Amino acid sequence: MGTPYFAVPSLTALFKNDYNISTVVTQPDRPKGRGRKIISPPVKEAAQRFGYDVIQPVSLKNKVFLDTISGLKPYMLVVVAYGHILSKNILSIPKTGAINLHASILPKYRGPAPIQWAIINQEEETGVTTMLLDEGMDTGDILLSSKEKITAVDTSATLHDRLAVLGAELLITTLKSLENNDINPISQNHASATYAPFLKKGDGHIVWEKNAEQIASFIRGVTPWPGAFTFYDNKRLKIFSAKPVSIKVNDAPGTVIKGFPDELRIATGKGALSVIEIQGASGKRLLIKDFLMGNQMPPGTVLK
């Protein structure tokens, strides 16, 4: 059971290791993009390449779906970024329960956006965890985990791709260890749990009152989704990358300050931010020197 690209390396690993997958469950095809073209989930596309049967229930409460899964008499459910919490009715179907791969070191960053929030919160490392599924939100007993360093240039996209591969490796290790009875599930310390809520489109708005280090991490964390943005003269500017500058700033946060001729420096709550890549309201993604050739933003300009 899985839906986005994050789950594809795990499905691929199961295929390459000759696990007997009776069917693949993924979310329905949905319209995407400006043209609202109907797009299949990445997991469906991968499953069809491997020759697996695919089920795309609109509701997990559907009796036909429940009867279908029950009829397969599965030994185990493997769940990777499926997108829905599974009910007791579903969890009780497989002979040995269900295991889940989650993109954090639990109990930290439970929820739908663990990769983004780990970067936003300036964590030095994160990782992946396999666990037994229960009816809660990433609250089941931990099986295995594997850590991954967060680099100073990681965006949620680059970290996502590494964790997807690391997670697939951990999933296979977990399954083999379960087969050999080499794992003792460990209860999570619920008192230490943190939550990583879903990021909406408006959550990419930059708060210039934060310090430069925080804003730089925020930009990396929300790239590519929902994307970091600010406003100049009521027009949206999207910032793809930036670096903090440790200087004393007396200007109000969000104010453009003097820098090098081909540089855009912006005052923050502490220090300044030097923008590297930017996109105007109706333009394309550009290096800041190219953007400034056609867009004057002199010192004193205020971004909101």
* pLDDT value for 283: 83
Fill in the amino acid letter for 96: T
Dihedral angle computed from the Cα positions of residues 50, 54, 60 and 64, in that order, rounded to the nearest 10 degrees? -140
CB 103 within 8 A of CB 138: no
Paired tokens of 112: 């739908």
**284-296 per-position pLDDT tens digit:** 999 999 999 988 8
Q: What is the topology classification, in CATH, of domain 5-192?
A: Rossmann fold (3.40.50)
> DSSP character for 92?
T
> How many angstroms separate the CA atoms of 17 and 183, rounded?
20
Paired tokens of 50: 């491997």
Average of per-residue pLDDT across 112-137: 97
* pLDDT value for 220: 98
- 5-192 against 201-294: fold identical: no
CB 195 within 8 A of CB 108: no
* pLDDT value for 273: 97
- Residue 148: count of CB within 10 angstroms of its CB: 19
CB 30 within 8 A of CB 39: yes
201-294, superfamily in CATH? Answer: Formyl transferase, C-terminal domain (3.10.25.10)
Instruction: Return the percentage of the chain with pLDDT > 70, whole number.
Output: 100
CB 86 within 8 A of CB 66: no
CB 174 within 8 A of CB 147: no
* pLDDT value for 282: 77
Dihedral angle computed from the Cα positions of residues 215, 220, 225 and 227, in that order, rounded to the nearest 10 degrees? 50
Q: How far, CA to CA in Å, does 26 sit from each of 1, 46, 48, 130? A: 6, 11, 12, 19
> How many angstroms separate the CA atoms of 152 and 143, rounded?
29
Average of per-residue pLDDT across 5-30: 97
112: pLDDT confidence band, cut at 50, 70 and 90? very high
Tell whether the model's pLDDT for residue 224 goes beyond 90.
yes
**261-279 per-position pLDDT tens digit:** 899 999 999 999 999 999 9
Average pLDDT, the chain: 96
* Gap between the terminal Cα atoms of the chain: 42
Average of per-residue pLDDT across 17-41: 92
* pLDDT value for 35: 78
Rg of the chain in Å (alpha carbons)? 22
Coil/strand/helix, residue 164 = helix
Tell whether the model's pLDDT for residue 34 goes beyond 80.
no
> How many angstroms separate the CA atoms of 173 and 131, rounded?
13
Coil/strand/helix, residue 304 = coil
Nearest to 54 by CA among 37, 62, 42: 42
Q: pTM to 2 decimals? A: 0.95
* pLDDT value for 127: 98
Tell whether the model's pLDDT for residue 33 goes beyond 80.
no
Tell whether the model's pLDDT for residue 179 goes beyond 80.
yes
Domain parsing of the chain, residue ranges: 5-192, 201-294
Average of per-residue pLDDT across 211-239: 96
Nearest to 58 by CA among 15, 19, 17, 29: 29
* pLDDT value for 36: 83
Paired tokens of 183: 């794992």
* pLDDT value for 243: 97
41: pLDDT confidence band, cut at 50, 70 and 90? very high
